[in-house]
Amino acid sequence: MKVSELPYHRVTIEEVTAVMEDVLARIKNAASADEILKAREDYLKIQLEYQSNTALAYMRYSINTVDEFYVAENEYYDEIGPAVQNYNVQYASALLDSPFRKELEEKLSPVLFKAMEVERKSMSPEIVEDMVEENKLVREYSDLMSGMEFTFRGETMPRAMLMKYAKSEDRETRKECYEVLGKGLAEHQEQLDSIYDRMVHVRDRMAKKMGYKNFVELGYHRMGRLCYDEEKVRVFRENILKDIVPAVSHLRTENARRLGVEDYHLYDDGVIIPGGDPKPFGKAEIFAAAREMYHAMGKETASFIDMMLENEAFDVDSRKNKWGGGYCTEFPKFKQPFILANFNGTAGDVDVVTHEAGHALNAYLIADNRFALELGCGGMETAETHSMSMEFFAWPYMEKFFGDRADAYRFMHALDAFSFLPYGTMVDAFQHIVYENPDMTPAERDEAWLKLEKQFRPHISMEGMPYLEKGTRWQYQMHIYESPFYYIDYCLAQTAAFCFLLASQEDYDDAFARYLRLSRQGGEKVWTDLLQEAGFQSPFEPGTLKTLAERIDALLEKIRV
């Protein structure tokens, strides 16, 4: 069935309440583990309906953020979502506190119970109203960004389309693109600062109501992290600064000289290849190439891409009032993934059928897993390992997308991915500073961002960039507003993806088989165990990032164009 034809209905709080009150009573009064497992079946049924319909409502809102019906539906779920989440925590607590817990863990999964323990730490009935307020603020930011337009050389366009000029081979065009971006954002400075200030304070208030010192610890619990904590992430950030930042800064400065750039500015960071970064063929050619690629990879991937294309499970055209980012979601009731993106004629368009399709392939592979509704694909670091690794497994097929510029794409992709590690880590460091100091003024936040830029990206100058030189680059990084503490998961996953890339250079078929095995297991094993099973070291282990930097540097030297 085509995604546009999938039936939607509102799942009401009354419907959820009736099921959950019954389930909770049956669990608390159960005389055996089997009675609890039967109650769990009804819990999973309402979860299937709720997760599928909220995802459908959000998808249809995001493709047109002024669709009055789906705007109202999303506002409804923003209102009831915290109450539903509170029921989920009550359910988790009932299982955790059950006298039959040991037997339940044996029949279900210790990982599931570990996830429930973390979930219980992330929620309390006393913060439900605050969560409703937070949801409204996220929607306010999303609406603001999706409706924002920029005028570049007489043409008005959304930010996604503007940013294609950031990849221009002409330096003056890139500079003008960022000038337009900065001036456009400056027009909304008061809103951007106000929304974030209110977000920080409502999140801080929630944390303190639950007895936490600040939002950081609560934020980690909300991310559902099972195999690493704040201290391990702190050490990871330090190792990025020590082992990755110097390597990236040297490589990017050296590469800039090949471009004829001595004074490296923010507007130079989007181009890597002399003469301009490679541009893919058009939309139709990209999807035809994706079908060929996934058919060549194997039977499972062939069935996957055929299903996605036949069900029209992509929306990739950039337009006004469409959400400006990209994502993959799934509608579990229909075992159907969906991908939203904003094509703009750059190499990023290919990421849609590699990165986002890596997420979608995982959803396809785990649709029938025992704990798909409860554990999903695992933590976000695991989810991003699926997607970022697929980007690299697509390398042998890049001629289909870029023709004779495929080698240029591979070099650009590897250097860009390596360069991401300092940036993504900087985003995480910024959020720690903000939530540890929730009363910072907007100007102090911008100043903190500028200081981090000098630490993590010392080769880049912001000088002369309207508005952005004040330290406001972070304001269009949607994760900072919408998904606090998510961004470090991309960095962790990028290290795993590089491990798969390096392994694929030695034995592609073996590496891809290990990747599929990791993906099929979804959330049934924690990320560090999945890495170990795949034959890779955890990035938290001493020396891992130093060795990785040396191997990536050697690879870049080998494939340099």
In a domain, 454, yes or no: no
- Beta-bridge partner residues of 150: 157
pLDDT of residue 275: 84
Q: How many C-beta atoms surround the C-beta of residue 135 within 10 A?
A: 18
pLDDT of residue 320: 86
In a domain, 33, yes or no: yes
Q: What angle do CA 378, 522, 505 make, to 5 degrees?
A: 105
On the 0-12 / 13-18 / 19+ scale of CB atoms within 10 A, 173 is middle
pTM, full prediction: 0.94
Quote the distance between the C-alpha of residue 528 and its chain's center.
19
**Dihedral, CA atoms, 196, 197, 202, 203, nearest 10 degrees?**
60
- Beta-bridge partner residues of 157: 150
In a domain, 108, yes or no: yes
Q: Which of 488, 492, 494, 489 is nearest to 431 (CA)?
A: 488
Q: Give the pair of three-digit tokens for residue 368.
A: 């029938």
Domain count, the chain: 1
pLDDT of residue 325: 81
In a domain, 147, yes or no: no
Using left for φ > 0, alpha for ψ between -120 and 50, and beta otherwise, residue 539 falls in alpha
In a domain, 109, yes or no: yes
pLDDT of residue 324: 81
Contact between 539 and 545 under an 8 Å Cβ cutoff? The reply is yes
Contact between 92 and 116 under an 8 Å Cβ cutoff? The reply is yes
Coil, strand, or helix at residue 225?
coil
In a domain, 264, yes or no: no
Full domain range(s) for residue 46: 3-129
> How far apart are the C-alpha atoms of 367 and 376, rounded to whole Å?
9
**Which stretches of the chain score pLDDT less than 70?**
none
In a domain, 56, yes or no: yes
pLDDT of residue 481: 97
In a domain, 65, yes or no: yes
**DSSP letter, residue 365:** H
